[in-house]
Chains A and B, each alone.
Chain A
Amino acid sequence: MLKGGVIMDVTTPEQAKIAEAAGACAVMALERIPADIRAAGGVSRMSDPKMIRGIQEAVTIPVMAKCRIGHFVEAQILEAIEIDYIDESEVLSPADDVYHIDKTKFKVPFVCGARDLGEALRRIAEGASMIHTKGEPGTGDVVQAVRHMRAMNAEIRRVQNLQEDELFEAAKQLQVPLDLLRYVHENGKLPVVNFAAGGVATPADAALMMQLGAEGVFVGSGIFKSGDPAKRAAAIVQAVTNYTDAKRIAELSTDLGEAMVGINESEIALLMAERGK
């Protein structure tokens, strides 16, 4: 029931309460937000369960947490502490450079990143019940999320227009199961929700992603790396609900204080979106 909502990265119970009060439909509990993970370097792992529990106790909305790609034991731990959603996330250092987690073995729903239709359907085949774009985390640069959303939707439109007998070859090229590709062909959408994630820093960014077809938005570093997190968070929530109303988004964009500084895509050495294909 997260559709049409904003999911916010938080690192403390206080931030979680600010996010809930601002209208977040869920929070992502993590020790360091992506901008700081990027700055710190080294190996980035699942957060301390104590820190996650602190956030679970602070809010009544769903709490998500991240495990490393392929690290099914981190996922088992998160399920054991009754997390609401697990993000098998490219933001953390991958634990397996070949296999993703077999998510069908878990009761807790998973969300995974995908840059295109092939990645999305492979993750869904593995059991993901939610997909997000793999916009470059911790940069405040929305360009990659836009690229992924456009690529995904263009491929969905292409698959919709294929003839039935062309689906076999398309499934082979995309390296995806035929039944999932058939679903896309018949319904013109993924079988699960697709959210925008990575680089969203302003109400305009959030509305842009919604107009491009996102069904909701993750905001990571963009809120708590900005000058006035509570105000910016509430403005992004409203911009997602009324994403086609330019007059309202103009008001929401007014006087928000400093946005996160951001790093341009071409200035970064590490592309997290390259993790897990």
Chain B
Amino acid sequence: MTIAILALQGAFAEHAATLDRLGVDHFEIRQPRDLERPFDGLILPGGESTVMGKLLRDLELFEPLRQRIQAGLPVFGTCAGLILLAKEVEGGIPCFGTMDIAVRRNAYGRQLGSFYTEADCKGVGTIPLTFIRAPYIESVSGGAQVLATVDGNIVAARQENQLVAAFHPELSDDLSVHRYFLTMVGG
């Protein structure tokens, strides 16, 4: 099993370190020729969604990746990665728009609104949650299922091959959310 990590900007190295701990092969995607290598799943890391959205288009990665996600490639988006997959984005422009969720960017306010908590995540268990200038999901529709909520706001969801988290599992020592994603990849 090989996982590709979108490495245009943000916390890609932290996801790589998490996959190292799980003993899973991975490589970085920075330009179209990186897509020639075969991979079974894709991670869209946290960072700035405006930066990644622009670079995806400038570097001509947008269309090939969108097609693969739509064709069923397992994908895991954290924080900004969640925003990239959302169909509706309050305070921003949708990017891939492949997942039936409506999200609010910077939903908890500025950097001072960053926080840590724990919550139950369906199919995963109780996990630590680190939120940094995080978005949350305002509503799900179609095939999207809620996996976790904090104070009534949706912070994790899944729709078939797509998994999203508003928090940063790659910044904690807990590996369970990544393990959950790997079971989606492994089938």
A residues whose Cβ falls under 8 Å from a Cβ of B: 1-5, 20-26, 56, 60-62, 79, 82-85, 107-109, 234, 237-238, 240-242, 245, 248
**A-B CB contact pairs (8 Å), 23 listed:** A1-B11, A1-B132, A3-B9, A3-B11, A3-B12, A4-B8, A20-B50, A23-B55, A25-B10, A25-B47, A26-B48, A56-B110, A60-B50, A60-B92, A61-B51, A62-B48, A82-B111, A84-B111, A84-B133, A238-B55, A238-B59, A240-B9, A241-B7
Distance in angstroms between the alpha carbons of A234 and B58 in the assembled complex: 9
- Is B72 an interface residue when CB atoms closer than 8 A count as contact? no
Q: Please give the distance in Å from A206's CB to the nearest CB on chain B.
A: 13
Cβ contacts under 8 Å, B46 to chain A: 1
Identify the interface centre among B7, B48, B55, B59: most chain A CB within 10 Å of its CB.
Answer: B48
Cβ contacts under 8 Å, B64 to chain A: none
Q: Are B30 and A3 in contact (CB under 8 A)?
A: no
Known: A25-B9, A84-B110. Contact between A3 and B47, CB under 8 A? Answer: yes
Distance in angstroms between the alpha carbons of A248 and B31 in the assembled complex: 10
Q: Are A241 and B10 in contact (CB under 8 A)?
A: no
In-complex Cβ contact of A241 among B55, B92, B111 (8 A):
B55
Identify the interface centre among A22, A25, A82, A248: most chain B CB within 10 Å of its CB.
Answer: A25
Q: Please give the distance in Å from A65's CB to the nearest CB on chain B.
A: 12
Q: Please give the distance in Å from A84's CB to the nearest CB on chain B.
A: 4
Known: A23-B51, A84-B111, A242-B30. Contact between A4 and B7, CB under 8 A? Answer: yes
Distance in angstroms between the alpha carbons of A61 and B50 in the assembled complex: 8
Look across to chain A and name the residue whose beta carbon is closest to the beta carbon of B78.
A1
Q: Please give the distance in Å from A3's CB to the nearest CB on chain B.
A: 6
Q: Please give the distance in Å from A153's CB to the nearest CB on chain B.
A: 17
Cβ contacts under 8 Å, A20 to chain B: 50
Known: A84-B133, A234-B58, A238-B55. Contact between A1 and B111, CB under 8 A? Answer: no
Known: A25-B51, A82-B112. Contact between A60 and B91, CB under 8 A? Answer: yes
In-complex Cβ contact of A82 among B9, B54, B91, B110 (8 A):
B110
Q: Are B106 and A60 in contact (CB under 8 A)?
A: yes
Q: Are B31 and A4 in contact (CB under 8 A)?
A: no
Look across to chain B and name the residue whose beta carbon is closest to the beta carbon of A240.
B9
Q: Are A61 and B110 in contact (CB under 8 A)?
A: no
Look across to chain A and name the residue whose beta carbon is closest to the beta carbon of B110.
A82
Knowing that A25-B10, A61-B50, A242-B31 touch, tell me 14 more A-B residue pairs with CB under 8 angstroms.
Answer: A1-B11, A3-B47, A5-B10, A23-B58, A25-B48, A25-B51, A60-B92, A62-B48, A62-B133, A85-B111, A107-B112, A237-B54, A241-B7, A245-B30
Cβ contacts under 8 Å, A83 to chain B: 110-111
Q: Please give the distance in Å from B11's CB to the nearest CB on chain A.
A: 6
Q: Are B105 and A1 in contact (CB under 8 A)?
A: no
Distance in angstroms between the alpha carbons of A79 and B106 in the assembled complex: 18
Q: Are B50 and A1 in contact (CB under 8 A)?
A: no
Distance in angstroms between the alpha carbons of A107 and B112 in the assembled complex: 7
- Is B80 an interface residue when CB atoms closer than 8 A count as contact? yes
Q: Please give the distance in Å from A195's CB to the nearest CB on chain B.
A: 13
B residues whose Cβ falls under 8 Å from a Cβ of A: 7-13, 30-31, 46-48, 50-51, 54-55, 58-59, 79-80, 91-92, 105-106, 109-112, 132-133
Q: Are A1 and B47 in contact (CB under 8 A)?
A: yes
Distance in angstroms between the alpha carbons of A25 and B55 in the assembled complex: 12
Q: Are A62 and B55 in contact (CB under 8 A)?
A: no
Cβ contacts under 8 Å, A82 to chain B: 109-112
Cβ contacts under 8 Å, A237 to chain B: 51, 54-55
Look across to chain A and name the residue whose beta carbon is closest to the beta carbon of B10.
A1
Q: Are A108 and B51 in contact (CB under 8 A)?
A: no
Cβ contacts under 8 Å, B111 to chain A: 62, 82-85, 108-109
Q: Are B9 and A241 in contact (CB under 8 A)?
A: yes
Q: Are A4 and B12 in contact (CB under 8 A)?
A: yes
In-complex Cβ contact of B48 among A1, A234, A240 (8 A):
A1
Cβ contacts under 8 Å, B133 to chain A: 1, 62, 84
Distance in angstroms between the alpha carbons of A20 and B47 in the assembled complex: 14
Distance in angstroms between the alpha carbons of A243 and B59 in the assembled complex: 13
Q: Are B48 and A3 in contact (CB under 8 A)?
A: no
Look across to chain A and name the residue whose beta carbon is closest to the beta carbon of B92.
A60
Distance in angstroms between the alpha carbons of A240 and B55 in the assembled complex: 11
Identify the interface centre among A1, A21, A23, A62: most chain B CB within 10 Å of its CB.
Answer: A1
